[in-house]
Amino acid sequence: MRRKQQFVWREFRRIGKLLSVDGQIAGGSGNMSMCKFGRVWYTKSGALLGDLKFYDIVSCKLEKAFTFENVCNKRATRESIVHNAVYAHCFGGGIKAIVHTHASEAVALSFQRHEAKGGVERLKLVDAEGVYLFPEGVEIIRVKEKIGSKDLARAVARAFERQLKEYENYASFAAVIVAEHGVFAGAKNLEEAYIVASTVYKSAKLIFNGLK
């Protein structure tokens, strides 16, 4: 178990540092999880992603985690209910790791209303990579309880599911902007989830700076 946790810790530590250097998280904000070795591993509640210690990683068994609207480890990030809801719905679709950031520009842009097609509001990305990954834009979710709530968990899981369906056959990733809160990005592993989160972050920055 210790060796497995060490493997996960190294991966969390590597990506946590990147998120911190990028400015996608600040202070004790943001969190991560990944499915590996038959377990879901999470960063602990309040852990500094830019300086993760071995004991900042907690876990629980896959089958325990995959119950919708469930928190299986009380020491895990407050958002673990959201991570678990996504895995409950999208693990089969290829989502096996999640990165949650508080990317300021993406949050800032969420204070405005954006175009909503079929009731789904999206932020249209502008740069080549952003448009390539998200041709329709990135979904914006608006819920009353913005942190660790059942409503948030349901909304993020549904949005991820919708995207996996839209991108069927060529991609296993998804991202959403939770209005006035941050970004959730998921993919088949942590590095890819980081790349997806970064694409949203960089594109939001361009749009935000262009608006000033």
How many Cα atoms sit within 13 Å of 143 on the Cβ side?
22
Closest distance between Zn ion and the C-beta of residue 78, in Å?
A: 8
Q: Which is nearer to Zn ion, 80 or 199 (CB)?
A: 80
Choices 49-57, 136-144, 155-163, 182-190; region in contact with Zn ion by CB under 5 A: 182-190
93 touches Zn ion by CB under 5 A: no
182 touches Zn ion by CB under 5 A: yes
How far is residue 99's CA from residue 187's CA, in Å, rounded to a whole number?
9
Binding footprint of Zn ion, residue count (CB under 5 A): 1
Q: Which is nearer to Zn ion, 74 or 117 (CB)?
A: 74
Q: Which is nearer to Zn ion, 41 or 184 (CB)?
A: 184
Q: Which residue is nearest to Zn ion, using beta carbons?
A: 182
Neighbours of 29 (CB within 10 A): 16
Backbone angles phi, psi at 61, to 5 degrees: -65, 145
Closest distance between Zn ion and the C-beta of residue 29, in Å?
A: 6
130 touches Zn ion by CB under 5 A: no
Closest distance between Zn ion and the C-beta of residue 149, in Å?
A: 12
Choices 53-61, 87-95, 151-159, 181-189; region in contact with Zn ion by CB under 5 A: 181-189
Q: Which is nearer to Zn ion, 182 or 186 (CB)?
A: 182
Long-range contacts of 164-172 (CB under 8 A, 24+ apart): 164/90, 164/93, 164/94, 164/95, 166/136, 171/133, 172/93, 172/94, 172/95
Closest distance between Zn ion and the C-beta of residue 101, in Å?
A: 8
Q: Which is nearer to Zn ion, 30 or 130 (CB)?
A: 30
Closest distance between Zn ion and the C-beta of residue 25, in Å?
A: 9
Q: Which is nearer to Zn ion, 5 or 31 (CB)?
A: 31
Closest distance between Zn ion and the C-beta of residue 156, in Å?
A: 11
Binding site for Zn ion (CB under 5 A): 182
